[in-house]
Amino acid sequence: MTEQTAGSRFRLGVSAAEDWRMAVDGCLLQLMPLSDAANIGFVYVSDRLADRLPKIVRRLSAATGIEMIVGACAYSVAAGDTEFCDEPVVACLIGEVPDDSATLFSSPTERPQGWFGVVHADPQVPALPELIEDFSEASGAYLVGGLIAGRGARPQWAGKVAEGSMSGVVFSEAQPVLTGMSQGCAQVGDLHTVTAADGNLVLELDDRPAYDVLRDSFGVESLQDLRKLGTGLMIGLPVSGTDRPDYLVRNIIGVDPQAGGIAIGAMVEEGDSLFFCRRDVESAGRDMDRMLADLKRRCGDQTPRGALWFSCMARCQDQFVQTPGELSRIQTVFPDLPLVGMYCGGEIAQSRLYGYTGVLALFL
C-alpha cells in the first residue's frame, strides 16, 4: 500500500430527493473534488429509486470518471451518522484502493480470488447459505454484505446490472480491511442437544418434546402464553471453530403442542446443539459497543479511511430506535468516518448467513 493510499480518506456523498438526477447531483456536490487516484465507489439507493439504479450509477461514473462501482438498492440506507428509512435517497462512498486490488463479479458463478469480499444478494436466490459458503471457499475470501430487503425489484450493480443474483467485489491482500460483527439476540435458558429431528422440524431436545423445552425456557404454560411474549423468539445455532462465542439466529416458524415439535428456519440433525433466544435491546447495545471497542483496539494508531455497514432491518426498526443509534455509536468511536451501507434481510459475515446482526468493514 502506497503512502498516498494510506493517507487518502474516502469521500461520502448522500442526498435525498424524489428526482433521481437531483439526488445524484446532490451527492456529487459533496464528493467533488475527488483525488486523481480515486478508483472505486460503493452506491446504495433507496428502493423507491430502484428502477433508476443503472442511470444513477452511470451518471455518477461519468461525473467522477470511476468505472469500478458496486452497489444495491434497499428499503433503508445507511450514510454517515444517519439511517434513511423509506426515503428516496442516493448514498455514495468513493475512495482509493491499490491498483489491480479489486475485481468485480456480477454472478455467483464468477469467483475471483482474493482475501476479502463485499457481497450483495437477492433473498430469492435458491440455497443462499450454501451458495455463500461455496463462494467464500472457492474465492478464498472473507465475506461481508447482506441480502437485499426491498419492495418490488431488487437490482444490484457490479459493473452492470445483476438483478436476481449475487454480486459484489473481491479484494486482494493489497487492501487492508478490518471487520467486526455484533449480535442482536440474547440467549434464553441452557444449551440443548437435538435428540430427534426431521429436516427443519425439531422433535426432541434432551430426550424431551421440543415444545415442552421451549415452553419451560420462557417460563410459560401454554401456546397462548408464548404468543403473548410477542415476536422475537428465535433459535440460536452455535458456530464452532471461532475465536469467540458465535451463533446463527434462525426463526421459529411453527410449533405443534400436540406432537411436541418445533419448526425452525434451518435444517438440523440429531446431535446438533441449539438454544432459544430473543431480540434484546440492551444486549444488542452492549455487544455493539464490544465490537467497536475491539475494532478500535485492532486499528492501533491507524485511522480507518472509510467503512461499509450491513445491519438487520429489525435492528433499524425495533432495537436501535432510541439514542444512541447504531450509526451514532460507530461515529462516537470513529469520528467523522465516511460510511455507507444498507439494512438487510440477512447479513453475511465470513462465509455464513446471519440474522439480526450488524457487520462493519473498515478500510485502512
Residue where one domain finishes, among candidates 279, 295, 318: 279
Q: Is residue 226 a contact partner of residue 214, using CB atoms and an 8 Å limit? A: yes
Indicate whether 297 and 353 sit together in one domain: yes
Domain holding 214, by residue range, is 185-279
Range from 123-132, 265-274, 277-286 carrying the lowest mean pLDDT: 277-286
**What is the per-residue pLDDT for 284?**
84
Query: If you average pLDDT over residues 104-131, what whole number do you get?
Result: 95
Indicate whether 126 and 42 sit together in one domain: yes
pLDDT at 249 over 80: yes
Tell if the pTM clears 0.85, that is, is over it.
yes
Q: Is residue 144 a contact partner of residue 310, using CB atoms and an 8 Å limit? A: yes
Query: Mean pLDDT of all residues in the chain?
Result: 91
Indicate whether 105 and 145 sit together in one domain: yes
pLDDT at 222 over 80: no
Range from 123-132, 151-160, 254-263, 321-330 carrying the lowest mean pLDDT: 321-330
Indicate whether 168 and 58 sit together in one domain: yes
Q: Is residue 106 a contact partner of residue 160, using CB atoms and an 8 Å limit? A: yes
**What is the per-residue pLDDT for 1?**
32
As given in the structure block, the three cell numbers for residue 236 are: 440460536
Indicate whether 299 and 216 sit together in one domain: no
Portion of the chain with pLDDT greater than 90, in percent: 75
Query: If you average pLDDT over residues 184-207, what whole number do you get?
Result: 93
Look at residues 102, 42, 35 and name the one whose alpha carbon lies nearest to residue 72.
42
Residue where one domain finishes, among candidates 217, 248, 279: 279
Q: Give the tens place of pLDDT for each residue, 27-82.
A: 999 999 999 999 999 999 999 999 999 999 999 999 999 999 999 999 999 999 99
Query: If you average pLDDT over residues 306-320, what whole number do you get?
Result: 78
Range from 28-37, 159-168, 180-189, 224-233 carrying the lowest mean pLDDT: 224-233
Q: How many domains does the chain have?
A: 2
Indicate whether 294 and 222 sit together in one domain: no
**What is the per-residue pLDDT for 6?**
47
Which letter, b or e, does each residue of 33-50 get, where b requires 16 or more Cβ atoms within 10 Å of its Cβ?
A: ebeeebbbbbbbbbbbbb
Indicate whether 96 and 40 sit together in one domain: yes
Q: Give the tens place of pLDDT for each residue, 69-116.
A: 999 999 999 999 999 988 999 999 999 999 999 999 999 999 999 999
Indicate whether 310 and 170 sit together in one domain: yes
**What is the per-residue pLDDT for 316?**
63
Indicate whether 93 and 61 sit together in one domain: yes
pLDDT at 294 over 80: yes
Indicate whether 201 and 255 sit together in one domain: yes
Indicate whether 174 and 190 sit together in one domain: no
CATH code at position 121: 3.30.1330.20
At which residue does the C-alpha cell 446504495 appear? 44
Query: If you average pLDDT over residues 196-224, what whole number do you get?
Result: 91
Amino acid occupying residue 9: R
Residue where one domain finishes, among candidates 261, 279, 297: 279
pLDDT at 245 over 80: no
HSE-CB of 252 using CA atoms within 13 angstroms: 25
Residues contacting residue 250 through CB under 8 Å, at least 6 positions apart: 234, 235, 237, 264, 265, 266, 355
Indicate whether 38 and 116 sit together in one domain: yes
